[in-house]
Structure 1
């Protein structure tokens, strides 16, 4: 699963839980159950403004277990640590904003925008035979950049020919242009599904 899909899944689950909890608190705080004449199941939380989250019986059961509150606190701490780790991962940059070219490629140190490098790689790759769509990204740490390209092949495209063409074409030219003979690359391939020809109904001859 890609990073974007994982992020969307986490956000969707967290958002659904927050919305559900907020609706429960709102319904209890506004006393909507009584106003609407709703009869909720036994044990349903926050059915009235004066009702606590844990009833008397539940608090009595919890008080009888010494391990209850340490477990609750440990779970909450783990959730906070996980949320902070996820936030730190989102803030970490995965795309290089610029790439520094040192002499002798330039008279002085020169910064090349990462988007410019990505545009060149995309334009050179989409011109290869059998390529339908390309999305390139320049990432990695400043001292070890990497070119990542996601290529969508036509139904009759050849992965072997694309790999060879990408290595000797766009990648080789990018390495020479940037003066980085060891520039790394990652290539992801997808093949477009073959479209079935539509069956047109023949007109009936009477």
Structure 2
């Protein structure tokens, strides 16, 4: 996930959480159990507060411009949230990769399986799993390695970078391919003595 998308996601979640938290805190101050426990200097809403009295409602009814403005603003917010959701869904696993000719495609799972097979051939790798993410013009391979107990992480990573990732980038050319590698070590199996 790009830094821009991470920033947008975090900012959206932060704003939604801040609005909900402030609204919940303001409404909670109208109840007696919460109001009694608040410090004396803190603002609180009255329990008998009337949000819109008849005079205020009458003044708002005289102005016919505000209902369309409120509906339009809510529609814009809804469309922005839907666009953000669509971008999040589309940025997931890569399904199909178009090749040089029109109509010729390569399944993303087939390319991921080929990369995983090449990664398993690296010395010291017990298991490997590859997922292709991103968009057709900018790919990201998430590679998960499980090394044997005697495998060297440095050696495996060097072979991976010099062989499997280079071949994957050549296969995906002219598209850019980034590789995220996660390494873990297979646990020793304890022998039972009878």
Q: Equivalent residue for 1:170? A: 164
Q: Distance in 1 between matches of 2:141 and 2:173?
A: 14
- The equivalent residue for 1:129 is 123
Query: Please, which of 151, 159, 181 is the counterpart of residue 153 of structure 2?
Result: 159
Match of 1:78 in 2: none
Matched, 1:64 2:64: no
The structure 2 residue matched to 1:100, chosen from 91, 98, 101, is 98
**Cα distance between partner residues in 1 of 2:89 and 2:141:** 20
Q: 1:149 aligns with which of 139, 143, 147?
A: 143
Query: CA–CA distance in 1 between the matches of 2:89 and 2:133?
Result: 14
2:153 is equivalent to residue 139 of structure 1: no
In 1, the alpha carbon distance for the partners of 2:177 and 2:88 equals 25
| Corresponding residue for residue 42 of structure 1 | none
Task: List runs of 5+ in structure 2 lacking aligned partners.
Answer: 1-31, 34-45, 51-77
Map of 1:193 onto structure 2: 187
- Displacement of 1:165 in angstroms is 1.0
Q: How many residues align?
A: 123
Alignment partners' CA distance in 2, 1:192 and 1:98: 33
Per-residue Cα deviation, 1:181-204 (whole angstroms, up to 9, x for no partner): 74211111111112222222xxxx
1:162 is displaced (CA, Å) by: 1.0
SS in 2 for 1:184: strand
Q: 1:181 to 1:99 in 2, by over 3 A?
A: closer
TM-score (norm 1): 0.50
Unaligned 5+ residue runs, structure 1? 1-56, 68-80, 201-206
